[in-house]
Structure 1
Amino acid sequence: MLLNQNLKSTSCLNCRNTVDLTAGDSTLTCPECSYGYTVIDQIPMLVKDAGQNLAASWMQHKALIEENKERLQEVQDALGRQPERVPLLDRAICAYQHDNEYLRDLQTRIEAFLPQKEIEELKEEGRLPKQYTMGEGIAFFPRDWCGSERAEQEVCTILDAIRSQIDRYADDVDSLLVPGAGAGRFGCELAGIYDSCHAFDYSLHMAQIFYDLVERDLTLHRINFRSNVVRTDDVVVAYDLSLDPTGDGRIRNHLDRNNLSYFVGNALDIPMPGNSLSAVACIYFIDIVPIKEHLNEIRRTLKPGGLFINCGPLRYMRGDVANMLSGEEIMDLFRSSGFDILSHDVVTNTQLASSPVITSVLSHSFMFCARKK
């Protein structure tokens, strides 16, 4: 089982030629212009600002480690005052220590490519790109890979919405792109259905955890002192994450087809040749990037007749108000950019249903399918 075996013809971000990148020990090199792309722990970084991206993810690890340390200190302070809670508090201490040890290992791997001094300099110079935070992103790994009934139902609702549009409107799908692939579940699922699936995320820290999961099972924790849980056992939850949580080998069989690539990439500068993709499946991502700039790349990379399928909420938690469009405005933008709108709907689903907290969130996701003329 190998990732990125289908990552052959790419569009070099430097010379813009369509090329087959030449693989080295820790680089991919354009044969036309000799531009080099960093490969860290087998993860291709197909971005022009690899150093800045590495530094930003290192800082995301640092932020979550420091937050965990603060919470750990709070628990340790409570330990001496609540002897009756020692077993629970000890579990929380071990959970914070375990997760921070793993996050620190991910940081160290980045330092092998970019020294901490250079990372700090990039931060001081204000050159770090904005990324999805580690604290937000890591919550999707239990949803995608713990295998609980609630989590699987949530995943299936999203996947069924995407597949229904492709099955209804596409005659043939030989290449599909998943931008903002995050924890990697949807890329894996779609790679088991279609000929070739390319997935990417701008945040190296998300790719790091996914690649580790491909190699081995992981355990991550959620500590719910600040969340309303009923069962004491649910205050500290250990999520055993696996690409094969049910033991049927289904996902690993998908990957054995060697038709999934997962790389670090920028949705505003996609390293795919023009008119090369049959479909783009945008899942819980359209509210993360400036849609107008992202649409330029969607239109460029899709084949004539290619499909764009969106499924996700329009939350717009950060960014420019000019990019905070309603669903109707987004569809109007696609129409004026050379697309036909084939369908649109609202898909109601749970949000991160793997969590045991009492408060549950229903996500009303905007779904639409558009075809490039």
Structure 2
Amino acid sequence: MPSATDLVHSAWRCPNCRGSLSGAEDTFTCDACGDRFPRLGTVPVLVPDPAAYIASNAVSLARYVGGLQMLLARGEALEQAQPFRKTALEQARRALSADLELATGQLFGLAAHADVASLIRLAADPPPQAAGLPFNESWGPAMTGFLRADWGGTPDGEKQIATIRDELARAVQTHARRRGTAVLLGAGTGRFVHELSGHFDSIFGVDLCLAYVDWFHRLLQGPLNLWELHYPQLGGDNVATPIEAKLTQEAAARMDARSLAVADALKLPVADGTLSAAIAVHFMDCVPARPLLEELRRVLEPGGIFVGYGPLLYRGVEDPADWLTPSEWKHLFAEAGLEMLEERWLDLPYWQGMERAIQTTHRVWTFTLRKPS
């Protein structure tokens, strides 16, 4: 059985002072400043203020659990009032009940680590709650489509993954000067950490979404059964699809609890100039540009590369000042002192499937940058 210290990735550092981390029981401690970073089960939480992060997620998840309970009650009333909807509502109930069971377990796990002072501050100044269904960007069965694509073994998901993997591997093989250590930004449920592991001496992923990272860590213990809910965008009578997500045999052999951590891509828990590569898939439009490029400049070693892949959809960036065209991005690359090695435009079929009301092809901009030696 690995020791607590063995659960610390060799590249990880304190996100506040960049000191080395030591593992003990359910906490990592910075050897330099003494700051402590919890593990939620096996999930490392390596953000600058973990107490605030956990409290925020606990509040969000508590709202979400309450919303699920409300929807289940509403579904029962609708089934009694409108019996002709029984088949669809039963599908929805199975999906919501399974997600409620998982979300409740996650909430208890968060509550065990929640800081009372942080919860009180949130109660005094709560974040705004979105109207409508309780499926926000952090929780919900609407998100399980990403888990299905990564680890569901579906033909459309595997085809998409192979297309992306081949392009990333080509860029890395062409431009990386050494194998070294790499990070995958916005790694989701970790599939591309595995797909690119053979190209580096060491690779790990980070994501600020606790649900994604938690799902991956649960997959390390065995298959995960969830549902993908298709409301409100229906492509037919099928309103929910069961998902059995599981790691491939190869991924299970290569990956462990150090493969994916909760961390902020703008405040990476990595020492200055230590990464040979950083890679982002469907992520460049999720964070403001200048802070991201500044962080890349900090963590990449001289000659290190950054590979970006994805469309510019800007769903996660609220400020229109950060909705940049490719030419504007390239201006900021030059401003940050990052050399553009190549760029390509590709088409990627996305979210295919008979149950989907919308099927799209993404116009993908992929590029490789280098930090000067």
Q: 1:10 offset after TM fit, Å?
A: 3.5
Task: List structure 1 runs of 4+ shifted beyond 6 angstroms.
Answer: 1-4
Residue equivalent to 1:235? 239
Residues 169 and 225 (structure 1), Cα distance of their counterparts in 2 relative to 1, 3 Å cut: closer
Partner amino acid for 2:344? Answer: D
Partner amino acid for 1:278? Answer: S
Is 2:207–2:261's contact at 8 Å kept on the other side of the alignment? yes
Residue equivalent to 1:189? 195
Aligned residues: 361
SS in 2 for 1:139: helix
Is 2:138–2:211's contact at 8 Å kept on the other side of the alignment? no
Is 1:142–1:354's contact at 8 Å kept on the other side of the alignment? no
| 1:198 lines up with 2:204 in the alignment | yes
Offset from partner CA, 1:57-85 (integer Å, 9 cap, x none):
22332344344334433432232244455
Q: What does residue range 186-335 of structure 1 map to in structure 2 within 5 Å?
A: 186-230=192-236, 232=237, 234-244=238-248, 249-255=249-255, 261-317=259-315, 318-335=317-334
SS in 2 for 1:288: coil
| 1:366 lines up with 2:372 in the alignment | no
| 1:133 lines up with 2:138 in the alignment | yes
Q: What does residue range 106-185 of structure 1 map to in structure 2 within 5 Å?
A: 106-114=106-114, 118-119=118-119, 121-125=121-125, 132-135=137-140, 137-185=143-191
Partner amino acid for 1:174? Answer: G
Q: 1:126 offset after TM fit, Å?
A: 5.1
- Distance in 1, Cα, partners of 2:92 & 2:127: 36
Q: 1:47 offset after TM fit, Å?
A: 1.3
Higher RCO, 1 vs 2 (CA within 8 Å, ≥6 residues apart) = 1
Partner amino acid for 1:102? Answer: L
Offset from partner CA, 1:310-350 (integer Å, 9 cap, x none):
01121112321222111121122112222211111222213
- Distance in 2, Cα, partners of 1:243 & 1:141: 11
Partner amino acid for 1:111? Answer: A
Q: 1:183 offset after TM fit, Å?
A: 1.5
| 1:8 lines up with 2:7 in the alignment | no
Is 2:225–2:244's contact at 8 Å kept on the other side of the alignment? yes
* TM-score normalised to structure 1 length: 0.88
Residues 34 and 6 (structure 1), Cα distance of their counterparts in 2 relative to 1, 3 Å cut: closer
Residue equivalent to 1:28? 28
Gaps in structure 1 of 5+ consecutive residues: none
Partner amino acid for 2:32? Answer: E
SS in 1 for 2:76: helix
* TM-score normalised to structure 2 length: 0.88
Is 2:47–2:264's contact at 8 Å kept on the other side of the alignment? yes
Partner amino acid for 1:89? Answer: L
Residues 235 and 35 (structure 1), Cα distance of their counterparts in 2 relative to 1, 3 Å cut: closer
Q: 1:240 offset after TM fit, Å?
A: 1.0
- Distance in 2, Cα, partners of 1:304 & 1:178: 18
Is 1:54–1:204's contact at 8 Å kept on the other side of the alignment? no
SS in 2 for 1:172: coil
- Distance in 1, Cα, partners of 2:354 & 2:108: 29
Identity over aligned pairs, percent: 25
Is 1:308–1:369's contact at 8 Å kept on the other side of the alignment? yes
